[in-house]
A = this chain, B = another copy of it.
Amino acid sequence: MTGYSEKQIQIMEAAEELFANKGFDGTSVRDIAEEAGVNLAMISYYFGSKEKLMESLFQYRGHYITLQLENMLQNKEMSSLQKVYGVIDSYMERIMKLQCFHKIMSREQMADVKGATTKLIHELKKKNQELVQQLISEGQKKGEFKKNIDVPLLMATLIGTTGHLVTTQHYYKKLNNLEALSDEEFEKHIKKKLSNHLKSLFKAVLTYE
């Protein structure tokens, strides 16, 4: 159930890039087959249908999108603020590494008809919010953080800011005259900037009175 062959992964990753940039309906199974370098019929053969290919992709990525964080949260030597910084960096790294998958999730969240992916997204969000809520409550008990912190909106700022930057990086590049930078340079640049920005934002809103 969990193991995908090389060829299946090849197909899923081709589909991932196309779904991210053209949308699910904007991508034909022939596009995917060509991009993956396999015969058209292999997609039905391995996954059953285009829809089920999407579900497999969510399972494939969802599998390693949820596992981290816990051990860091139990670390006794870090301050609560340091842990928040850890959450920010780990979330950011994750989005940066899985940019295409993140775009697909963003698209899915806009849809009105709820598909098989909806449940997974909801659980992911729930778990994330609980972890952060727990972390913030701990900081409040220790007196590190102030009272009256709106955790859901804080999450919206973390996810929204990061996501917006990822999905509009082309515009960001042009708007701020960074077109000379290579892709790696630009990613490094934006990671650094975004990390600093989010940390100072969270520090301010969590600690200042």
Q: Which residues of A contact B (CB under 8 A)?
A: 20-26, 103, 106-107, 109-113, 121-122, 125-126, 129, 150, 152-154, 156-157, 159-165, 167-168, 171-172, 174-176, 193-194, 196-197, 200-201, 204-205, 208
Contact = CB atoms under 8 A, between A and B. Distances in A.
A107 B110 CA distance: 9
Contact of A163 (B125, B164, B174, B193): B164
Contacts of A125: 168, 171, 175
Binding site secondary structure of chain A:
helix
A109 B167 contact: yes
A14 to B, nearest CB: 14
B200 A172 contact: no
A92 to B, nearest CB: 12
Given A153-B197, A160-B160, A204-B205, 15 more contacts: A22-B111, A23-B111, A24-B26, A25-B25, A106-B110, A122-B175, A150-B193, A150-B196, A152-B172, A153-B194, A156-B165, A156-B172, A157-B160, A157-B161, A157-B197
